[in-house]
Chain A
Amino acid sequence: MKIKLIASVSISLLLARWKQTLVAAIGVTFSITMFITLLSFMSGLNDMLDALILNRTPHVRLYNEIKPTKNQPIDQTEKYKQYYNFISSIKPKNDRAEIYNNSAIMQSLKKDNRVLGYAPKIVAQVFYNVGPIDLTGAINGIDVDEENRLFYLSTYVTSGNFIDLKNIPNSIILGKGAAEKMMANIGDVIQVTTTKGERVPLKVVGYFQSGIAEIDKVQSYATIKTTQKLLGESTSYITDIQVKLKDVLQAPAVAKEYQELYQVEAVDVQTANSQFETGSSIRTLISYSVGVTLLIVAGFGIYNILNMMIYEKMDSIAILKATGFSGKDVNAVFISIALSIGIFGGILGLIFGFGLSAIIDQIPFNTASLPTVKTYPINYNPKFYIIGGIFSIVTTYMAGYFPSRKASKIDPVIIIRGK
């Protein structure tokens, strides 16, 4: 009964100034629309950029770093054990880049149920021979099936078929940039020189385009076997093991564990690509702050309109109070006016925001570096809609709070005597 009464009073006050109310609601609608669109778009973009790097990056990478041992002989002598020794110009000893005992490590990874999968890899420095010129390059020796399953190789092999790499012996998938420099077409045979001076012919079966031009100019893919042959190493030679986990957030802990367990270097994706995390979080921060600013501006609009309404309706408020409405009731009337503006404007804003994102989703977006992206990326995360909805209600409540309090404190005597 009481709620109904307060609602009916609020509604008639709202309708009495429906034009201003509408303007206030449009303000909220506009800001929520922009908030949703901005976040959806920004987060779509973030996801795309993250996918660009993170999808192809192992969650944990195991490798052997070439570096001088931490345990120098001087630290082991009786006499200088207690000292802090400065040694300049230490050189690493002749160590291999190979991971020792890698098949045992891989066996044990297979049993670890946190691991989604792993792919062995060999990184080999080579020169691509173009006539008399040598271009520096790097061949990644990969396990084609696992690489595709875990790191989506096929999505960035833009011409040729990635599976040919496995089926055709001594084949190579060149980076698009490298292929253009060498003017190598699919089916051509190119010459590469290894760091040890051997010259090997390889058949081009495809191009890949990673989205990062610098990488495309240098890198290419071959099978593990081809790479081992190229380097003249045995079939157990592996320089990297790329591990993909079921839960990427566990990566730092797992990396630490593996480092101790297998006595190799292990780097997790968060450390290796911290700049992407930072970039994403800053972009998200910017979109949130723009969205929130828009909402606050809309909130000021509501504040103004309510203040004006209270000023205009001073007499009505006074008489309501004189006839037995308490300050609390008057407060509830104005709060409900503010909230209904917020809810109405907010719901429309959510709908329009969805519509606008859907439109942006249809706009063609073709860029050479992103072969798989055809339209602007949009992330339709329901989280944004929930946040937007909550925010519209919270800001309008805040905007209504002070005017409502002012209205509830109006002293009817002053108004009535003033006439």
Chain B
Amino acid sequence: MSNKILEAKNICKYFHDPTTVQVLDNVSFSIDKAEFVSVIGKSGCGKSTLLYILSTMDTDYQGDLIIDGQVMRNKKEADLAKVRNEKIGFVFQFHYLLNEFSVLRNVMLPGLKLGKYSEQEVEHRAIEKLKILGIENESLKMPNQLSGGQKQRVAIARALINDPLIIMGDEPTGNLDKKNSEIVFQIFKELATVYHQSLLIVTHDNEFAARTNRIIEMEDGRIIKM
């Protein structure tokens, strides 16, 4: 299939401290363009570990990870950083905004790092992303002046700035109340349907997962339902 954007082949992962434990056991699956996928499972089943491997941040694994047709194995740290910058947008449970920078600047940072557009263009694009998320009026505030839900939306805008192939989320609604969770979910849904954005969201909120295109269920390091 030509529109596979991410493929995991037989990924195994061990933790060695204090004793060797296998966390992931032959995990294989793929994600197509514009798919909205969620990964669920009990805590400790390895879903977050899988996500960090897929995001290229964790390089200590066996098996193959192919993003956009490129094999990630044996790539240098700087090249992996470039892949993350260009092709992956990340949303964490905690917003991780830099308090030293304004909201706008936070969104712009990965774009500036990519260096594909001039600073003015990056700024323009950042404002557009904030508009999609309905928080363009907060763009000049500092992150600590925003509410939790708003912060998470800024983090999503930041993930979107470089038009990534895929957005990965590690329990992006885990820290939010019902109302804000719903807003964030609607945003994801809109991104998937209107902008054909691929999404891979790890969650333990079954209600959230139920409304996505596809659910990958994990147990004890294995995929039990796909």
Contact = CB atoms under 8 A, between A and B. Distances in A.
B94 A419 contact: yes
Given A5-B113, A416-B94, 10 more contacts: A9-B109, A320-B109, A323-B90, A323-B109, A323-B113, A325-B85, A412-B57, A416-B52, A416-B96, A417-B48
Interface stretch (B66-74, B75-83, B181-189, B218-226): B75-83
Contact of A16 (B82, B86, B100, B119): B100
B85 A327 contact: no
B113 A324 contact: yes
B115 A2 contact: yes
B151 interface: no
Interface residues of A, number: 29
A12 interface: yes
B46 interface: no
Nearest to B93: A419
B41 to A, nearest CB: 16
A325 B96 contact: no
A416 B92 contact: yes
Contact of B100 (A15, A322, A325, A416): A15
Q: Is the interface of A mostly helix, strand, loop or mixed?
A: helix
Contact of B52 (A16, A324, A328, A413): A413
Interface string B182-225: 00000000000000000000000000000000000000000000
A87 interface: no
B52 A417 contact: yes
B58 A5 contact: no
19 contacts: A4-B119, A5-B112, A5-B115, A320-B98, A322-B84, A323-B113, A323-B158, A324-B82, A324-B84, A324-B114, A324-B162, A326-B77, A327-B78, A329-B81, A329-B113, A416-B92, A416-B170, A417-B48, A417-B52
A414 B119 CA distance: 32
Interface in B32-85: 48, 52, 55, 57-58, 77-78, 81-82, 84-85
Nearest to A316: B98
Interface of B: 48, 52, 55, 57-58, 77-78, 81-82, 84-86, 90, 92-94, 96-101, 109-110, 112-115, 119, 158, 162, 170
Which residue of B55, B96, B97, B170 has the most chain A CB atoms within 10 A of its CB atom?
B96
A327 B98 CA distance: 18
A319 interface: yes
A315 interface: yes
Contact of A322 (B57, B97, B112, B162): B57
A231 B82 CA distance: 95
A26 B155 CA distance: 38
A323 B107 CA distance: 11
Interface in A71-127: none
Which residue of A16, A318, A324, A327 has the most chain B CB atoms within 10 A of its CB atom?
A324
A415 to B, nearest CB: 9
B81 A315 contact: no
B57 A324 contact: no
Nearest to A321: B81
A323 B110 contact: yes
A1 B115 contact: yes
A264 interface: no
A2 B111 CA distance: 11
Which residue of A322, A417, A419 has the most chain B CB atoms within 10 A of its CB atom?
A322
Nearest to B87: A324
A323 B100 contact: no
